[in-house]
Structure 1
């Protein structure tokens, strides 16, 4: 029986890096979906020690997946002005304390928050010795899977590799990585310094799944060059256009066609020929004898039969087939049948993108379209809300594949990123 995970094929890892392994990407980067919401409000609060209740001065406080952050005052207080409406995780960090995280929803009313940090027990300046150093090949695999292979990803650098703890378990074929505090990624393509707090990374080669999640905060990198600033701005627009962020906002605003998207129904159907072929193989294996010429011919003939095949419905889907709007007209839910093939017509794929052969078809991969980006979207539950700021209420409700699965940290944008408005016609 196929599980939803079996339906997510790869196209992310070039075979030269991991021969005989095809990764199915459970893309849990918590897709950062900036919104167009007009409503804004302010947040303020205090960061304290959970045991003594004393305020913690100069603690770092930020809204995860955004550029919104601050350092507390000597009294342990902080304030964020003009936060766009939507759902966020507010995170506080302090040396010698565990991260404090609280989920909040921002509307039109100012909020007062209290964050309590629990001491870790480690003393400031204490030297922590890891049980063994990272194996260079394991760290290299982590870095490639985490940063990605795109043109922008090649301009990303992990600033503190010694703070990353990587381990590979050959019994479970699982590669894991974590950081004591955060992993800092300097993205020279987009001009962001990303501090990824609480990183939890897993790559299971048996199940062929990659997941990573945490609470990242974005900082604008500084430059004295106006030319580099313009390049960063252009690259951010390029990363945004055609992305899941762009797609969900366009869907919520009924602007799919105007924004250059086409969505089609993709149905995965079990192949009865595979069941018969697999039964033949199992029966011959149980007999434990040499195969006859006829049996060898049968095995050869059935060798390339895929377990399932894909049926693509060519008629584009109307937005009402992709979403449900609540009776109040305010809440919008992502909802569709089977899977989606999402095509962005206004830009081609990255030069480093290579489409891998589909597990649903024989032969090599079809020619890669040069003038468009083709992705797959899988919904793991009946529906999920698209919030006012464009985020999914449950980011783990989706898997992405093909081109969207290819994009990683190189295209990582904060929630509060807004592309520049088009210039008015003269």
Structure 2
């Protein structure tokens, strides 16, 4: 199932990023009075602070790049503002609107299938990897689920946040503003929001070492690892091979699909010949995937401007990315795409992923995040990785861990 990129962004080991100072004040949006002891955090990081009695906050040192600054306070809606951190100090004013009528604005329909819908949500949100099996949602009753049978679509949200305790990586993730959508017909999953990470306290030195090793494992071969290697001209050195994957429409699909739908609309008992036709028509793929065996050169995947200060991900068709240095999770079982038939299935002993751009080019920012993360589709192994492998933007593995 394809996934819209929402948050998987990390840093390369030893990355020398610039630092910037961020400060500001949190206020009531109506009275402009300061809000003391409000929570302020940078989404997708472990960076969070509490405002003073005067409602002020300071992040003295933030790695350069783009962030969502989020403020939270009991009885108020979240306030969010996008910033780009550079060398110059920045100051923000975050104004929170009272949420007295918020619950009244939410319409919750009866859901007799909540148990099965919730299990589908868990599988698609947490994932099915070894690390995902060690994740749990601490506040399941706060998850609002709705299934639309007409659209064949499952959506999930929360009044405040969804808390995921990841015992494999040692993180407690509070996912504010979750918007989760799974369309089962199109086989596409999208989820995004403003998560904040909190370090869990290990019970022993052994557990601390296990968390460190698991974080490195989650990092190696990840999409963010790939993005950083592209930005820093280290793709081959970091163990990645990229190949062009061209998806060609199947001219037989439209007539076969039309004939199948026309027969199904009759809603009657079908003869043996008609049943055979339905099976044959259903097996016709919409398109074919043609894989070019020659590896792509780094400069064919990116557009570098401003003397190397700005790097954009840019390539034609789709991209198949293979990570050579670490194999896939034991629970990963590659599935053939329902949208395109390939001549050869990907190898079982490699992390093989597919990347699709939804716009001509997307900037890779200094902190490893994409300027527009929702403009990318991922499939294959990267689509398999979910919350079990979710690491904060400011995570940096040990320098010796760039290779296993």
SS at match of 1:228: helix
Look up the match of 1:194.
Answer: 173
TM-score between both structures, scaled by the size of structure 2 = 0.90
Secondary structure (helix, strand or coil) at the match of 1:186 reads: strand
Residues 281, 177 of structure 1: CA spacing in aligned structure 2 closer, same or farther, 3 A cutoff? closer
Match of 2:85 in 1: 106
Structure-1 residue corresponding to 2:3: 26
State the shift of 1:177 in Å: 1.3
Instruction: Identify the range of structure 1 (291-300 vs 161-170) with the bigger mean alpha-carbon deviation.
Output: 291-300
Structure 2 residue matching 1:54: 3-state secondary structure: coil
Q: Verify: 1:413 aligned to 2:402, yes or no.
A: no
Runs of 4+ off more than 3 Å: 128-134, 273-303, 365-368
TM-score, normalised via structure 1 length: 0.85
What displacement does 1:71 show?
0.9
In the TM superposition, residue 397 of structure 1 has moved relative to its aligned partner by 1.4
Residue 170 of structure 1 and its aligned partner are, at CA, apart by 2.3
Q: Which runs of 5+ in 1 are unaligned?
A: 1-9, 11-24
Q: Residues 111 and 295 (structure 1 numbering): CA distance in 2 closer, same or farther, change over 3 Å?
A: closer
Aligned twin of 1:13:
none
Instruction: Give CA deviations for 1:242-294 in whole Å, capped at 9, x if unaligned.
Output: 00010000001111111000000000112233345456657878999999999
- For residue 142 of structure 1, report the CA deviation from its aligned partner: 1.3
Residue 379 of structure 1 pairs with residue 379 of structure 2: no
Q: 1:37, 1:388 within 8 Å by CA — same for their partners in 2? A: no
Q: Tell which deviates more after alignment, 32-41 or 382-391.
A: 32-41
Structure 2 segments unaligned to the other structure (5+ residues): none
C-alpha change, 1:63 and 1:305, in structure 2 (3 Å) is same
Structure 2 contact 36–51 (Cα < 8 Å) conserved? yes
Structure 1's 225 and 282: CA in aligned 2 closer, same or farther, altered over 3 A? closer
Pairs within 5 Å for 1:243-262? 243-262=222-241
Name the CA distance, whole Å, in 2 between partners of 1:416 and 1:285. 53
**Aligned: 1:139 with 2:118:** yes
Is contact 1:96–1:120 with CA below 8 Å preserved after alignment? yes
Cα distance, 1:302 vs structure 2 = 5.5
Cα pair distance change 1:244/1:55, threshold 3 Å: same
- 1-side partners of 2:91 and 2:50: how far apart? 16
- The 1-side partners of 2:275 and 2:201 are apart by 66
The answer as to whether partners of 2:10 and 2:219 remain within 8 angstroms in 1 is: no
Question: For the Cα contact (< 8 Å) 1:65–1:215, is it kept in 2?
Answer: yes
Pair 1:400-2:373 in alignment: no
CA distance in 2, matches of 1:396, 1:239: 21
Q: Distance in 1 between matches of 2:269 and 2:75?
A: 66
Q: How many residues are paired up? A: 397
Q: Distance in 2 between matches of 1:51 and 1:420?
A: 47
Greater share of strand residues, 1 or 2?
2
1:173 paired residue among 152, 168, 186: 152
Judging changes above 3 Å, is the alpha-carbon distance between structure 1 residues 283 and 137 closer, same or farther for their aligned structure 2 residues? closer
1:263-278 alignment, distance < 5 Å? 263-275=242-254, 277-278=256-257
What is the SS of the residue equivalent to 1:313? strand
User: What's the CA shift for 1:43?
Assistant: 1.1
Residue of 261, 284, 289 corresponding to 1:305 = 284
